Structure 1
């Protein structure tokens, strides 16, 4: 399955994942740890252990600092 991934503020990429892939797998394919991003489908966060069933997702990088 081809999934278009938009990293908010950085642009879009297309990644290919297998039918059993989770949103955490998709985050890793895009070069991020699942702990670094929230995955959004239609603007709604999805669980990282959920199976990918969307053709377009957004990755929102989580920022922390002091």
Structure 2
């Protein structure tokens, strides 16, 4: 499945994920642990164990160093 993942405030990634990939897999594909981010479909957070079912998502970092 092809997905566009926008990491809010950073980059946008075009990903090609395997069938059955979860939102946790998507997080790892953009370089983050599922514990560091939440994935939004529209404005709604989705569970990390849910299979990816959207073509465009936003990845919001919950922890940012500083």
Same fold (TM over 0.5): yes
Q: Give the gaps of 5 or more residues in structure 2.
A: none
TM-score by length of 1: 0.92
Indicate whether 1:55 and 2:58 are aligned.
no
Count of aligned pairs between the two proteins: 65
TM-score by length of 2: 0.92
SS of residue matched to 1:25 = helix
Q: CA deviation at 1:64?
A: 6.2
Q: Give the gaps of 5 or more residues in structure 1.
A: none
Partner of 1:6: 6
In the TM superposition, what are the counterparts of 1:1-66 in structure 2 within 5 Å?
1-63=1-63
Q: State the superposition RMSD in angstroms.
A: 1.3
Q: CA deviation at 1:63?
A: 2.4
> Which runs of at least 4 in structure 1 moved beyond 2 Å after TM superposition?
none
Partner deviation per Cα, 1:30-59 (whole Å, 9 max, x = no partner): 110000000000110000000000000000
